[in-house]
Chains A and B, each alone.
Chain A
Amino acid sequence: MPHAEPWLERAPLLLRDAVNALLPAPARWWVDSFLDIAVLLGVFGLLFAFLTLAERKVLGRIQNRPGPNRAGWGGVLQPFADGIKMLTKEDIVPRLADPILHFAAPVALVAFSLMSFAVIPYGRHLLALDMDSGVLYFFAAGASSELAVFMAGWSGRNKYSLLAAMRALAQLISYELPLLLSFVPVVMISGSLSPSAIVTAQGGWHLGFIPRWNVLTPWGFAGFAIFMVASLAESNRSPFDLPEAESELIAGHLTEYSGFKYALFFMAEYFGMCALGGMAVTLFLGGWQAPCAFLGFIPSYAWFGAKLLALLLGFIWIRATLPRLRIDQLTRFAWKFLVPLALVNLVTVGFWHLSASWSRGFDPLRWAIAIALVVIPFVAMGRRLSAGLGPRTYRFAAQ
């Protein structure tokens, strides 16, 4: 590197070393780990608090109403008021409930969703745990949360919450498959399961100004789209929020929960959304890499944060825009559309990998074939899936 790294880039490291210098050597490993955990909890806890506020504000703005605007300046203190309210609410456990599982379900859910934060590279030097199989760890932690959903639904001894838990599990299992299949192309191209290696593989620029992010290739774009749809479903976000469709299904598997345990479920949902967003940034959007070379003076963690916030705002925007799906539409969409598309995407990335050695003159042909491999199955399957469904006629409303 021609010049030393900017001070802001190294600032977190300097801060950690300053803390370490105050302590005896044997304690450093523990303090390092503890600092990582504390910073992750603090940053994502605050992000969770203000994300709920941002969600309510943005939804309000889209629906032409002010949103929360009483607590603090323009509603800034609303999340803390909500937190105090949730903490002081009565915690009701049904008499016939299984008390251990009823307590363990929210705890397990929050724990598993927090675990997935450990392997995301937030900046050039900001990575809590650099593991060779980090991506696998991330999705293993995510898959374990399904068990917590079942425990929540079953332990309340309420047939509605049990039915809702089974429905939620059907959704989570259905969308697990496209989620896992959509990141396989990234692993195939970068040849590693380590998130930091995947980010490093996306460094540099085509022609000097187009970043080499995975999303800017045909297979990467398809994979990113499938990943985002599947992660909307995995984090129970609208339009896939029917596990706890509060307006019609009495909050699903959360029916028997109240007070702070109920708040913990929402915390886990937002944590899961942040973690999946962070993984999407890492896998497809170049992680902490700057989009242009001359913007490299901005520290890497700021780029990561900007990309993550953009994705989260996109999630909120989608929630304000799309109506909720029905359970049969939801599972059909996963099994008949997303899974086949993700499988075709594996073929596309195989072609992309094998054609990497073609001479530069064949580049337009390479792009054309890859784009055709993405677009033709999309259009063909979309037409088959939606055949006979439209155009919709409004027999009563049109008068």
Chain B
Amino acid sequence: MNAVLAAIALLILASAGIALTLRNIVRSVILLVVTWFGIAAFYLWAGAEFVAFAQVLVYGGAVSMVVLFAVLLVRHGKAGVAETPAPSGRIVSALLAGGAIAGALAGAVALTPLAPAAGPAPFAPVRHIGVLLLNTHAASLLAAGAILTVALLGGVVLAAGGGPEKEDGP
């Protein structure tokens, strides 16, 4: 069982790591999708079928397409391409920001008291998940939907551009 988990973890970490180092952004995106599939495999390993298939449907099917469209259709102006290596100040600030987020996450994980699971994990049928989502947690589901809609509208506004002065072409 632990060997399977180790293989899944290796798949997730290796694909994410290689995706970060590649210069070709389309290959990075495809490796990122491999990472998402790995996360779905982890959910399957943990016995959460519903979440695993939802992960594949949403991330593998939809979000990956959005990312690919964004990568390929965004206008690559001369200023937008980072051909030269980034200045050291940017590298330092990137490392600081990434390290801060990683530290916060690691601290949160380390400080959470994880009680050892008592007995077998509870089996959650899909019907049970549906009842929980639409009765008990309906308000938070609606809030998440509203936030995502606002984010989508913001994305459309940003992508549509400001005005006619941007129509000059590269």
Shortest Cβ gap from A279 to chain B (Å): 15
Q: How far is the CA of A387 from the CA of B50 in the complex (A)?
A: 43
In the assembled complex, A269 has its CB within 8 A of some CB on chain B: no
Interface string of B50-63 (1 = CB under 8 A from A): 10011011001110
Using a CB-CB cutoff of 8 Å, which residues 119-178 of chain A contact chain B? 131-133, 136-137, 139-144, 146-147, 150-151, 154, 162, 166, 169, 173, 176
Is B68 an interface residue when CB atoms closer than 8 A count as contact?
yes
Chain B residues with Cβ below 8 Å from A169 are: 65, 68-69
When the two chains form their complex, are residues B126 and A132 in contact, meaning their CB atoms are under 8 A apart? yes
Q: What mask results when residues 175 to 192 of chain A are scored 1 for a CB within 8 Å of chain B, else 0?
A: 010000000000000011
Interface presence of A263 (CB below 8 A): no
Q: Are B56 and A140 in contact (CB under 8 A)?
A: yes
**Interfacial chain B residues near A193, Cβ < 8 Å:** 126
Q: List residues of chain A with CB within 8 A of the CB of B61.
A: 140, 142-144, 146-147, 176
Q: Are B60 and A133 in contact (CB under 8 A)?
A: no
CA distance A193 to B54 in the complex (A): 13
8 Å CB contact of B53 from A137, A154, A173: A137
Give the CA-CA distance A194 to B50 in the complex, in Å: 11
Contact A136 B64 (CB under 8 A): no
B9: CB under 8 A from chain A? no
Residues A147 and B50 in contact in the complex (CB < 8 Å), given A133-B126, A192-B126: no
* List of B residues within 8 angstroms of A146 by Cβ: 61, 64-65
Q: Does the CB pair B30–A143 fall under 8 Å?
A: no
Q: Name which residue of chain B comes closest to A169, CB basis.
A: B65
Residue numbers in A under 8 Å from B30 (CB-CB): 101, 147, 151
User: In this complex, which of A101, A140, A169, A173 has the most chain B Cβ atoms within 10 angstroms of its Cβ?
Assistant: A140
> A132: which of B26, B33, B49 is its contact (CB, 8 Å)?
B49
B125 in contact (CB, < 8 A): yes
Interface residues on A, range: 20 to 34
* CB neighbours of B27 from chain A (8 A): 98, 101
> Roughly how many angstroms separate A194 CA and B130 CA in the complex, as a whole number?
14
| B127 contacts A by Cβ under 8 Å | yes
Whether B53 contacts A132 by the Cβ 8 Å rule is: no
Assembled-state Cα–Cα distance A132/B50 (Å): 8
**B53 CB → nearest A CB, Å:** 4
Tell which of A131, A132, A169, A192 has the most Cβ of chain B within 10 Å: A132
CB atoms of A136 and B65 under 8 A apart: no
A35 to chain B, nearest CB (A): 23
* Interface pair B62/A173, CB less than 8 Å apart: yes
B33 touches A147 (CB 8 A): yes
Decide: B65 and A173 in contact? CB cutoff 8 A: yes
Cα A142 to Cα B68 with chains together (Å)? 18
Q: How far is the CB of A335 from chain B (nearest CB, A)?
A: 14
The docked-state distance in angstroms from the alpha carbon of A143 to that of B56 is 8
A252 to chain B, nearest CB (A): 16
In the complex, chain A residues whose CB is within 8 Å of the CB of B127: 191-192
B72 within 8 A of A: yes
Instruction: Please give the distance in Å from B71's CB to the nearest CB on chain A.
Output: 10
A137 and B51 CA atoms in complex are apart in Å by: 10
Q: A143-B57, A154-B26, A191-B127 are in contact. Are A136 and B50 (CB under 8 A)?
A: yes
Distance in angstroms between the alpha carbons of A192 and B61 in the assembled complex:
23
Verify A133–B65 contact, CB threshold 8 A.
no
A173 to B73, CA, bound (A): 16
**Partner pick for A150 among B56, B68, B73, B125, CB 8 A cutoff:** B68
B66: nearest residue on chain A (CB-CB)?
Answer: A173
- Residue from the list A131, A140, A194 in contact with B60, Cβ < 8 A: A140
Question: Given the complex of chains A and B, what is the CA–CA distance between A136 and B51 in angstroms?
Answer: 10
**Bound complex: CA A101 to CA B33 (Å):** 13
Residues from 122 to 140 in B contacting A, C-beta threshold 8 Å: 125-127
* A193 smallest CB distance to B (angstroms): 5
Given A101-B27, A191-B127, 9 further pairs, Cβ under 8 A: A132-B126, A133-B53, A133-B126, A140-B57, A143-B56, A143-B60, A144-B60, A154-B26, A192-B126
Pairs across A and B, CB under 8 Å, 11 listed = A132-B126, A133-B53, A140-B53, A141-B56, A143-B57, A144-B61, A146-B65, A166-B69, A166-B73, A173-B65, A176-B61
- Top 8 nearest A-B pairs by Cβ distance? A143-B61, A140-B56, A136-B53, A140-B57, A140-B53, A133-B50, A144-B60, A193-B126
